[in-house]
């Protein structure tokens, strides 16, 4: 199988490229840049490929349509919207790691992303690929955002089974610095991030609408959620702490059973029988680990979820969607254990 | 003025010793260990004092009563309870950085600390020294816990002015590793903390009861709060993210005014006119910086507070209490600016 | 093929276990502890295995000899010496990650390790398994130390080809904290390591004698080397900066050719055509990347080598030796690319 | 006393501003930018000053000459060269934290800095202010570079007393990320620095010529030195590991005496009686701590020096030079103990 990959130089693109190279059903990976002009060597961006003359070619729709069976977009939000259009039109298989096809309407997209949207007809053709709760029905898979993945997997049993007061949901999410992308700025300077902790995009994070859209599918009574993001002084990983008030009387034990039942056949989701996961428990894997607690004294549920933002939160889930799309075993080429301590 | 300091080898004790050395009203600092046996040199614990023969003497009540005007306890919880008793009995001035005299009853202390409590009569003689809201009225000042300080300064306007539904309070607190103390353990191993994030003492943190006790003084309708702690891969600093639902219609602007009014004469509390503080904004200072937000979409207040856990959260506030007790200017010998970036 | 692994709970043991699970020629991994008493579950030490009832059995020589084709020792130095003896006696295949069989004599071992040595006859049966320069000739492979691997691969061309004044060798080596092992101590406390840098075991590091022993095999004129170790505030990785004065006139270009020639058929060693490697270039791989520079102004060679101390410096090289021993392709089950940025 | 400070927004400038505010002989600090156009508020760059309307004024030579007693330049190399000229001409007191007046000739400056030099006559008027070995004799003090300070204080006894073979000097220096300045770039991105280690400016660091120039003053036989720099994943601090071969027979004890004698009256230099300093021993202070070792087996001296690059390596030494210039006690307003652990 030949696969096209656009945008290999960002963190997610690099990660995706590594995973694709180990995929037993992928014979050839054609690398493309955003632009239409120049060819350059992968090694210019990546010491690892220093000794290898892999070319990144200019973007070429006709070539890709002729030669590949699927295209991955690991391009920035705002770029994919336009680049992907010919493939949407052709119903050619796409897995899109950007946020450009995750929302329902151009209006909503432009309100949260402050960039030009793909047209309505194109958005309508995309499937939101939260792999644990979606079986691909269209050729276009909008791969979920990293925060959205960690939040939705944490909230699914609560919202689907109508266990909580929906207006009490609070998500306090924390992410490592790869989540902010590779662009150098005052905000990604080592000295600004290291030995520090800071909230950002307060009440304005662009993953909020895709979270709410999915929650609404699960439970139409959802309106919105309080969701905040904090930048951690680490390379990778997302931990969400999710709070909610139960609708009726519960115990940690019944709650745990709900989670275990929901995820019993999902190979990448691990519900902890006791306690909550640490972030490092999943780094280097495609797993989402979940801890479930209920505090009788305050009548509050607290759920903790952890993922590797570049794997389950991006490239890993993209491969998982790829596997599902082509009916390969879901875990093909995806790490479930870790070499991290 | 001669001052006694018991427990100089822990993080808070070291910090306190440094601050006391720069205090213009302190002439002599007498260092004592917990034990009654041996004298040893400060330099054994501290490269900084390598060239100085400062002695740490065995604990000696009579000597301290005769020679010093006040005693600081920077000893671990469980140790101070007993050591401090003779001073309580004598109404000798004490500033106690441990948790041993912060709660109302031995029963409560033992439920949260799992250690022997000081007797009821002794607890009754202690004042809870949250410096911004307490003027010393007794000789015994129980210096607040680090988490408690950051949480209470964040909640004060909301709870004192009855602005919120009290059962909606959620405090998501994060702390650097000095907060866990100097003891080596699996949990404080570098590889366990670094590039990681983990919750601990879920719903069981011993600072919860002192927070609730103080909130109740401010507003008798308070029962308890949802409070959780997360260990950060950094040396020092606490950031709390506090959520609550307002009782009546508010705006960010009215909320901000409430905070500004509450703290207008408090030299160490800075309310941000826009946005929220980053943790590094206060490291190396005795400040508590506060950011105030209201999200109309979700009708949730979010308050962010940051402190240096070893200064405002421990040794700094102890000096602040010392200054207040002896009617020195409150800011004497306390850093308000920072050399951190 | 059935494999025994003793000591799965340390960093190297964990890493080795993960690699063995992905090895296509390994059917079963039998886990053993050091002791002879109790059986316990792997999950007690490892959240990753939380849902799996893998047993760690008490050490049982007869069972292993009967049931396995090779035994890995990932036990601490001082422990392996004795545990491994029955296998040495039986000429049963052993790959030993500890330092216990790397030196020539008990006297030397005890001088550097301060522990009881294996007997002389047993030491004599062990092969030093620096994989790039050794083809297994005996059943006992002493897997090299992490620092030794990074140093020897950096020095090999210089010493083998007699290019330098041997008494000018200086190795300034730096290692992440997993190199110090999992034991909690004042020295491994997060606050002691983080935002810090410190030399340790000055002129006394136990890897010095195995380095010198190997260098002497390559060039009998070697006597000893100046070798120092510095603890880095990171999880993993070793970077060595190696200095030496050339014997005769050289250029960076000729030097580079010497290195490229030496390593042209070694799949895990990458010589950089320009500049020197950063540590992260190899994290997560079994590679040793090497940069080569010559400073005309000072007439000094500077070589930089980087490895992942847990892979190429421990478990990875152990698998490499395993592959070589059983004539599997050398790179089987060993990562050569990285998901680290 | 009124003081002008140009360039308060960089790391060194910020640090200098904080120190000057606590200096008992400084009444007023006039802040200037590089440009001649706009006035802006300090708080735009610095959350700490959020509530204070301190102005940064456009650069104005006449105003400064009229109103201030001394000017500090914390401007980048290449900028100071020109800005400082009118003050050199006027023999007005300058302390210059940039590298622009540290070298002897424009040719040399341009070869290492790749920027336009100040003219020869101006360079000739500057004093190199290594505070432990220089008493100001001119109005222009070129404050030493951070690496140069750590290196020269480590080498002084060896070179001044002619104890070593001068062509064996190797300096392996390591620095935290504030040393690279505040400019955002691929090289200062958090993910590029964190959990990493990398050499930079190999054999080309611009501090080499000022080190060599000073060494030559001390011992005319010096030609050049092997000096390399490695970027550490920490905020601040420099550790140098210095190697050299002794000229004649020595012991650690005699070496230690040489160092102790050299530095006995220098309040900021601490020679360790045993072992070597860790980097954190000096963070937050103006100290340079030194450890001295001799390895009999290899006949190599190893010296370790540590400084806080922003204090002793920049703003702290600038204040020390300021104190010396105006005959204030050398330690005025300079921290000698630390709140870091």
pLDDT score of D39 = 83
Of C48, C273, C311, the CB nearest to A338: C48
pLDDT score of B18 = 92
When the pLDDT of each residue in chain B is averaged and rounded to a whole number, the result is 95
pLDDT at D153 over 80: yes
pTM of the full structure: 0.96
How far off is chain D from A87, nearest CA to CA, in Å? 33
> Are the Cβ atoms of C202 and D293 closer than 8 angstroms?
yes
Render the burial of C271-300: b for 16+ CB within 10 Å, e for the rest: bbeebbbbbbbbbbbbbbbbbbbbbeebeb
> Are the Cβ atoms of B310 and D339 closer than 8 angstroms?
yes
pLDDT score of B51 = 67
Query: Is A46 within 8 Å of chain C by CB?
Result: no
Pairing of strands D300-307, D288-295: antiparallel
pLDDT at D42 over 90: no
pLDDT score of B53 = 78
Percent pLDDT > 70 in chain A is 98
Return d(Cα A1, Cα A327) in angstroms, integer: 14
Helix residue ranges, H only, chain A: 11-21, 61-67, 80-83, 85-89, 106-113, 120-123, 146-160, 190-193, 208-218, 252-262, 316-325
pLDDT score of C51 = 67
pLDDT at C99 over 80: yes
> Are the Cβ atoms of B177 and C188 closer than 8 angstroms?
no
Substitution target in C48, C273, C275, C306 with the highest count of A β-carbons within 10 Å is: C48
DSSP string, D41-96: EGGGT-GGGTT--PEEBPP-HHHHHHH-SEEEE-PPTTTHHHHTHHHHHTT--EEE
Confidence of residue A51 (pLDDT cuts 50, 70, 90): low
> Are the Cβ atoms of B277 and D47 closer than 8 angstroms?
yes
pLDDT, tens digit (0-9, with 9 covering 90-100), for B215-228: 999 999 999 999 99
> Are the Cβ atoms of A184 and D182 closer than 8 angstroms?
no
> Are the Cβ atoms of B243 and A224 closer than 8 angstroms?
no
Render the burial of D108-123: b for 16+ CB within 10 Å, e for the rest: bbeebbeeebbeeebb
Please list every residue in chain A whose beta carbon sits closer than 8 Å to the beta carbon of residue D188. 184, 189-191
Substitution target in A190, A234, A339 with the highest count of D β-carbons within 10 Å is: A190
pLDDT, tens digit (0-9, with 9 covering 90-100), for A127-144: 999 999 999 899 999 999
> Are the Cβ atoms of C235 and B178 closer than 8 angstroms?
no
Query: Is D234 within 8 Å of chain C by CB?
Result: yes
Of B198, B232, B295, the CB nearest to A278: B198
Please list every residue in chain B whose beta carbon sits closer than 8 Å to the beta carbon of residue C190. 177, 188-190, 192-194, 233, 235
How far off is chain B from A138, nearest CA to CA, in Å? 33
Alpha carbon separation from B309 to B18, B148, B176, C107, C136 (Å, rounded): 15, 10, 8, 51, 56
Confidence of residue D337 (pLDDT cuts 50, 70, 90): confident
**What average pLDDT score do residues A230-259 get?**
97
**What average pLDDT score do residues C302-306 get?**
98
User: In chain C, which residue's Cα lies nearest the Cα of B179?
Assistant: C191
User: In chain C, which residue's Cα lies nearest the Cα of B191?
Assistant: C235
> Are the Cβ atoms of C182 and B194 closer than 8 angstroms?
no
In sign, the C-alpha dihedral spanning A140, A145, A150, A156 is: negative
Query: Is B39 within 8 Å of chain C by CB?
Result: no
Tokens of C46: 């490892």
Query: Is B185 within 8 Å of chain C by CB?
Result: yes
**What average pLDDT score do residues C246-260 get?**
96
Return d(Cα D298, Cα D293) in angstroms, integer: 12
Of D15, D235, D337, the CB nearest to B48: D337
Query: Is C177 within 8 Å of chain B by CB?
Result: yes
pLDDT score of D44 = 77
Alpha carbon separation from D234 to A100, A175, D191, D238, D263 (Å, rounded): 37, 20, 12, 10, 29
pLDDT, tens digit (0-9, with 9 covering 90-100), for B54-86: 899 999 999 999 999 999 999 999 999 999 999
pLDDT at B47 over 90: no
Contact B241, B301 (CB under 8 A): no
> Are the Cβ atoms of C184 and B185 closer than 8 angstroms?
yes
**CA torsion, ordered B114, B115, B117, B123, to nearest 10 deg:** -70
Query: Is B326 within 8 Å of chain D by CB?
Result: no
> Residues of A with catalytic annotation?
146
How far off is chain A from C189, nearest CA to CA, in Å? 15
Neighbouring chains of A at 3+ CB pairs within 8 Å?
A: B, C, D
pLDDT at C150 over 90: yes
Of D226, D243, D291, the CB nearest to C295: D226
Query: Is D121 within 8 Å of chain A by CB?
Result: no
Return d(Cα D107, Cα D84) in angstroms, integer: 19
pLDDT score of D126 = 97
Neighbouring chains of C at 3+ CB pairs within 8 Å?
A: A, B, D
Please list every residue in chain B whose beta carbon sits closer than 8 Å to the beta carbon of residue A192. 341
**CA torsion, ordered A213, A215, A220, A221, to nearest 10 deg:** -110
Please list every residue in chain C whose beta carbon sits closer than 8 Å to the beta carbon of residue A277. 47
Site of tokens 């702290």: D316
Contact D14, D46 (CB under 8 A): yes
Query: Is B237 within 8 Å of chain D by CB?
Result: no
Pairing of strands A288-295, A300-307: antiparallel
pLDDT at A126 over 80: yes
Neighbouring chains of B at 3+ CB pairs within 8 Å?
A: A, C, D
> Are the Cβ atoms of B189 and C184 closer than 8 angstroms?
yes
- Of D160, D173, D157, D159, nearest in space to D271 by CA: D157
Q: What angle do CA D125, D128, D130 make, to 5 degrees?
A: 155
Please list every residue in chain A whose beta carbon sits closer than 8 Å to the beta carbon of residue B255. none
pLDDT, tens digit (0-9, with 9 covering 90-100), for D265-312: 999 999 999 999 999 999 999 999 999 999 999 999 999 999 999 999
Return d(Cα D149, Cα D314) in angstroms, integer: 9
Cβ partners under 8 Å of residue B337, min gap 6: B285, D18, D21, D48
pLDDT score of D51 = 67
Query: Is D280 within 8 Å of chain A by CB?
Result: no
How far off is chain C from A124, nearest CA to CA, in Å? 34
Alpha carbon separation from B109 to B146, B207, C5, D304 (Å, rounded): 17, 11, 47, 49
**What average pLDDT score do residues B264-272 get?**
96
User: For residue A269, what is the enclosing H or E element?
Assistant: strand A269-271
Phi and psi angles of residue A199, each rounded to the nearest 5 degrees, phi first: -80, 155
> Are the Cβ atoms of D18 and B339 closer than 8 angstroms?
yes
DSSP string, B202-229: TTT-TTHHHHHHHHHHH-TT----EEEE
Query: Is D24 within 8 Å of chain B by CB?
Result: no
When the pLDDT of each residue in chain C is averaged and rounded to a whole number, the result is 95
Over its C-alpha atoms, chain C yields an Rg (Å, rounded) of 20
Q: How many CA atoms lie within 13 A of D104 on its CB side?
A: 8
Return d(Cα A159, Cα A23) in angstroms, integer: 35
Please list every residue in chain B whose beta carbon sits closer than 8 Å to the beta carbon of residue C185. 184
Contact A22, A337 (CB under 8 A): no
Over its C-alpha atoms, chain A yields an Rg (Å, rounded) of 20
Return d(Cα C304, Cα C323) in angstroms, integer: 27
Please list every residue in chain C whose beta carbon sits closer than 8 Å to the beta carbon of residue D198. 276, 278-279
> Residues of D with catalytic annotation?
146
> Are the Cβ atoms of C273 and A50 closer than 8 angstroms?
yes
pLDDT score of C34 = 85
Query: Three-state SS for A42?
Result: helix
User: Is the interface score ipTM higher than 0.90?
Assistant: yes
> Residues of C with catalytic annotation?
146
Query: Is A233 within 8 Å of chain D by CB?
Result: yes
User: In chain D, which residue's Cα lies nearest the Cα of C222?
Assistant: D298
Query: Is D39 within 8 Å of chain C by CB?
Result: no
Return d(Cα D26, Cα C74) in angstroms, integer: 62
User: In chain D, which residue's Cα lies nearest the Cα of C281?
Assistant: D196
Query: Is D278 within 8 Å of chain B by CB?
Result: yes
Confidence of residue A232 (pLDDT cuts 50, 70, 90): very high
């Amino acid at each position: 199988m030949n696969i096209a990959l656009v945008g290999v130089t960002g963190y997610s693109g690099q990660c995706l490229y590594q995973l694709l190279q180990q995929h037993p059903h992928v014979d050839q990976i054609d690398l493309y840049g955003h632009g239409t002009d120049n060819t350059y060597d992968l090694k210019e961006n990546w010491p690892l490929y220093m000794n290898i003359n892999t070319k990144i070619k200019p973007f070429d729709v006709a070539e890709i349509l002729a030669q590949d069976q699927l295209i991955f977009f690991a391009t920035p939000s705002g770029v994919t919207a336009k680049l992907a259009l010919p493939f949407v039109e052709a119903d050619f298989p796409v897995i899109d790691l950007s946020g450009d096809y995750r929302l329902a309407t151009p209006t909503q997209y432009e309100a949260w992303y402050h960039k030009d949207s793909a047209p309505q007809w194109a958005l309508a053709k995309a499937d939101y690929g939260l792999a644990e709760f979606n079986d691909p029905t269209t050729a276009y898979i909008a791969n979920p955002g990293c925060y959205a993945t960690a939040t939705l997997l944490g909230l699914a049993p609560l919202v689907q089974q109508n266990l909580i007061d929906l207006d009490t949901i609070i998500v306090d999410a924390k992410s490592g610095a790869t989540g902010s992308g590779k662009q150098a700025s005052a905000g990604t300077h080592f000295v600004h991030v290291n030995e520090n902790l800071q909230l950002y995009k307060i009440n304005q994070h662009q993953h909020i609408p895709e979270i709410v859209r999915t929650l609404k599918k699960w439970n139409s009574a959802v309106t919105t959620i309080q969701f905040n993001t904090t930048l951690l002084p680490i390379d990778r990983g997302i931990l969400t702490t999710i709070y909610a008030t139960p609708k009726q009387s519960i115990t940690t034990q019944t709650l745990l059973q709900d989670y275990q039942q929901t995820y019993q056949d999902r190979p990448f989701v691990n519900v902890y029988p006791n306690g909550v996961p640490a972030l490092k428990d999943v780094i280097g894997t495609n797993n989402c680990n979940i801890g479930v607690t209920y505090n009788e004294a305050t009548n509050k549920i607290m759920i903790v979820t952890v993922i590797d933002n570049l794997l389950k939160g991006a490239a890993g889930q993209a491969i998982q969607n790829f596997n599902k799309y082509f009916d390969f075993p879901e875990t093909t080429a995806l790490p479930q254990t870790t070499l991290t301590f």
